[in-house]
Amino acid sequence: MNRPFIKADHPKALDDFAIFLQECMYAVNYVDAAKVLEYSENLKLLIQKLPFYMQEKWRNVVYETKSRKNIVTFSHLVEFVKKDSKKANDPVYGKDVLNTQVGKNVKRLQDNNMNIDLEDLKRLLLDETFRDEYVTFMNKVIGDGFATEVSIDDLAKKDNDVWFLPHHGVFHPRKKKIRVVFDCAAKFQDASESGYGTVTYLRLENTFDEIHCSFVMGKARVTPLKTITVPRLELTAATVAVRTNKMLLNELEIPIDGLYFGPTPSSENHGTICADDPEVRQATVRTIIKTEIPDNSSLGVEKLIAYFSSWMSLKRSVAWILKIRKELLRRVSNKKQDNKMTLVKESDSKDYTKRISLQDLKDAEHSILVYVQRQEFTDEINTLSGNKTVKATSNIRKLDPVLDGDLLRVGGRLIKSKMPEKCKHPIILPKGHHISELILRQIHMDLQHSGRNHLLAHLRETYWLINAPSAVRKLISKCVVCRRLSAPVGEQKMANLPSDRITPDEPPFSRVGVDYFGPFEVKQRRCRIKRYGAIFTCLSSRAIHLEVAASLDTSSYINVLRRFIARRGQVEKIRSDNGTNFVGAERELKKRIK
């Protein structure tokens, strides 16, 4: 278990480890004490000695073994290591042979695995189409100036720095197109006259000093139609890199030890930006101002506000914070007093800190609104504090804002009105702020999901939200209860009309529908009897024909039908329900026809 870690480019160490495992296998078969190697914990310790690529292969072996409902044993590990050891120590295609023939006297890039993949080498030797496309692509890369062909003489020189980038080809047989992937890692942002972009790579290092670099994200932009200097584009690329980095830090769930921002190695300016360019200087100042990090207290308050989705819950939380703060300040101020006095006040404060009063909620609401206004209307509050007029560019100038203590309220001409003060001078709320949405949502729920005008009128009794109509429409459109209540009633789609209704060029009453209605009481001599009405309707023209039926029996309906045919002519088809008189008449007529 104390054997050193096997590196990927040491096939001899892997062969020694395979021999060691084979000897242990003999001991497991004949010595009972050696069967502890079958335990999973000991297998994990042995696997940790293998290179990373073999650990990944071993996971696949374990998965396949368990999928066949077999138990992973020490013998599986021995066979696995022996198989990979034979591949790595092959006398023709082994890693030492390939590294000696291809990478002799070649300085390798740091943190990259330069071993040639055996599968790629076999494919180059056996697949002629792949080899021809691969050679054509690499010649084009060299011809475009993206790479330089190194001669054997340059490789033999010891004072020449030659760097190898491992690469492999990906060939799609149907598309007849090859793509070569270069395994290199960096983190750069750069710009040119045609575009600018940024690339982010992640560098991982384990306890065995093995390093792995992987591509995370890349962004590219085309330069605007308006001519812009290259230094300005480089600054734009740096801004995009900072924003991308901020997004990745929020999304990645792993700790990042360090960050590196830099231009591409081929950049002409090597990361320097022309300080004499006034555009660059102005953009740099703007970027620094916009990316200024707020203080920790503001960050804490913003997180507290964003955490809650209910206005009442936020007020209760802030009320408790202010209550505890007040109690701590009271205790600090009473330290100089005698112990008796302190004990009395602390005992009195037990009931005081158990509950929140209405005044505590009002103080919490006041504190939240003051904070929000100072964050959104800083210039207006500073201007009004100096007894000056709000600037014409302010979006609340038309509201004639006044400063009432710490809060910013609407001015206007209703000072002499007998309305309540909060209705005459409502509190100004910013547009699109989370607090504004919480207040709107709370009022909407208190009004039992009423309409837009009712919500707007109730809101302006206390608050004046900028662009309130659009905010109210947005809230109602997202409210699940309102959408369910105002949803249209489902309608049944009508079926296609039957052929009897749309057959053209036929006389009226060729195809009819018949039904009874009634009864009606008719006086006959000194008694009253029941009579029924039979209605015939043409299925094509919707014309109707009425007849009188003496009763609901079959013979009465046959008489009605005879009178109808005598008046309107022969009928091709009659539609009716399954009444006993209709069914009986159909049976009688069929019997007579036969």
Please state, in angstroms and rounded to a whole number, the distance separating the CA atoms of residues 290 and 239.
11
Q: What are phi and psi of 409, to 5 degrees?
A: -120, 165
Please state, in angstroms and rounded to a whole number, the distance separating the CA atoms of residues 291 and 285.
10
Please state, in angstroms and rounded to a whole number, the distance separating the CA atoms of residues 14 and 1.
15
Please state, in angstroms and rounded to a whole number, the distance separating the CA atoms of residues 371 and 376.
9
Percentages (nearest 5) of helix, strand, coil residues in the chain:
50, 15, 35
List per-residue pLDDT tens for the chain, 594 residues long.
566 778 777 788 888 888 888 878 877 777 666 677 777 777 888 888 888 778 888 888 888 888 887 888 888 888 888 888 888 877 656 655 445 444 444 334 443 334 445 556 556 666 777 777 777 877 877 776 667 776 656 655 555 455 555 566 666 666 666 666 655 444 445 556 677 888 888 877 766 667 777 788 888 888 787 777 777 777 888 888 888 888 887 777 666 767 766 665 444 444 444 444 343 343 333 333 333 334 555 667 888 888 899 999 999 999 999 988 888 888 888 875 655 444 444 445 555 557 888 999 999 999 999 999 998 998 999 899 888 888 888 888 889 899 988 899 998 888 888 888 888 899 999 999 999 999 999 999 999 998 899 999 999 999 999 999 999 999 999 999 999 988 888 888 889 988 888 888 889 999 999 999 989 999 988 899 999 999 999 998 899 999 999 999 999 999 999 999 999 999 999 999 999 999 999 999 888 887
Q: Where are the beta strands (DSSP E) in 525-592?
A: 527-538, 544-549, 573-575
Identify the helix (H) or strand (E) that includes residue 189: strand 189-191
CB 24 within 8 A of CB 37: yes
Q: How many CB atoms lie within 10 A of CB 132?
A: 11
Q: What is the DSSP string of 357-410?
A: -HHHHHHHHHHHHHHHHHHHSHHHHHHHHTT-PPPTT-TTGGG--EEETTEEE-
Q: CATH fold of 501-593, please?
A: Nucleotidyltransferase; domain 5 (3.30.420)
Structure tokens at 309: 């989705």
Strands lying side by side in the sheet with 573-575: 544-549, 527-538, 511-524, 573-575
CB 59 within 8 A of CB 47: no
Pick one of 3.30.470.30, 3.40.50.1980, 1.10.340.70, 3.30.365.10 as the CATH number of 298-484: 1.10.340.70
Domain ranges of the chain: 11-88, 95-182, 189-290, 298-484, 501-593
DSSP summary character for residue 509: T
Burial annotation 94-112 (CB, 10 A radius, 16+ → b, else e): bbeebbeeebeeeebeeeb
pTM: 0.41
